[in-house]
Structure 1
Amino acid sequence: MRTYKYRIVIEQDEDGVYVVSCPALRGCYSQGATIEEAVENINDAIRLHIEARKSVGEPIPIEVLLDEVEVSV
């Protein structure tokens, strides 16, 4: 069993729900009532996403490097 490590993005929507995504795995999203629940749910979503890709012989994406930019307006 291989271990994969991915960055996730957590945002709180206007209803107070935490929406979480994994940018390296296009289309891999989840949510939760708390940050902890959202992180637990995205872990499950990532695992299922990888298992599905493996089952059809698709490559598993590697981590995307994220950086910050500063913009003055």
Structure 2
Amino acid sequence: MEYLVVVEKTPTGFSAFVPDLPGCVATAPSRTEIEEQIRSAVEFHVEGLRTDGLPVPFAVSEAITAEVSEDGPTYG
């Protein structure tokens, strides 16, 4: 199963979270490391749910982008 991961730039590096797995988060100083850390966090989180006999949430979140021109939004 593939989960959506949101990666954010922070003053000290990067943070990431998985909307479909509440509490599944990671932080790291570089983009490469955050990808490694969040993958490990997802595996650990799902393994913990299974060990505790809890349901593993389905991956249902999606991402879209919104584009805004430098001149601001245009209407109609």
- TM-score (structure 1 length as normaliser): 0.80
Aligned-pair Cα RMSD in Å: 1.8
Once residues 65 and 36 of structure 2 are traced to their aligned partners in structure 1, the CA distance between those partners, rounded to angstroms, is 29
Q: Which runs of 5+ in 1 are unaligned?
A: none
Q: Which residue of 2 aligns with 1:13?
A: 10
Identity of aligned residues (%): 25
Which residue in 2 is equivalent to 1:65? 61
Which protein has the larger Cα radius of gyration, Structure 1 or Structure 2?
2
Residue 55 of structure 1: how far off its partner (Å): 0.5
Structure with more relative contact order (C-alpha pairs < 8 Å, separation 6 or more): 2
The answer to whether structure 1 residue 53 and structure 2 residue 49 are counterparts is: yes
Structure 2 runs not aligned, ≥5 long: 67-72
Count of paired positions: 68
Alpha-carbon distance change, 42 to 50 in structure 1, aligned in 2, over 3 angstroms = same
